[in-house]
Amino acid sequence: MTVSTPTFRTLDDAECTALLAAHHVGRIAFGYYGRVDIEPIHYVWSNGEIYGRTRDGTKLRAIVANRQVAFEIDEVGAMFDWRSVVVKGTLVVLEADEAADGEWQRAVTHLRRIIPGAFTADDPTPERSIVFRIHAEQLTGRSAASAPLG
């Protein structure tokens, strides 16, 4: 069996943001009592920000204690055909009563692009009542591509 040599490269900012905008499930990594944990979440990417929601619990308390997080998405076609983006930044919990600047409502509007019933009577995950934002302080991406066999 002949295996082609893959090509690895760094994605530019436009490729990273396009990949983030195209997907809505990723993983958030955070420090937790001297260890690192990682959890899947759904999200929306908009203007350098990741918006998501979760419920109160151990994960949220761990993140709030050390708000620096990493967030990753992957698009995988095969062993050497993939793209991956990592966002590093600070997670901020948005409060529903922050009516002054409307940030919570903007976040909910973004989230309703992927879950139209979010925060309504038709919400499929009403227990996920905590809305958060991660500002992309660092954005990196990598890809691998198989060379055509010839």
Report the percent of the chain where pLDDT is more than 90: 65
φ/ψ (deg, to 5) at 23 = -120, 165
Length of the chain: 150
Q: Which CATH superfamily is domain 8-141 in?
A: Electron Transport, Fmn-binding Protein; Chain A (2.30.110.10)
CB 33 within 8 A of CB 62: yes
Average pLDDT of span 9-23: 97
| Predicted pLDDT of residue 34 | 81
Rounded CA gap, 30 and 26, in Å?
A: 13
For residue 110, how many other CB atoms are within 10 A of its CB? 21
Would you place residue 111 in the very low, low, confident or very high pLDDT band (cuts 50, 70, 90)? very high
CB 86 within 8 A of CB 27: no
| Predicted pLDDT of residue 11 | 97
Name the more confident of 10 and 56. Answer: 10
Closest by CA position to 63, among listed 41, 96, 85: 41
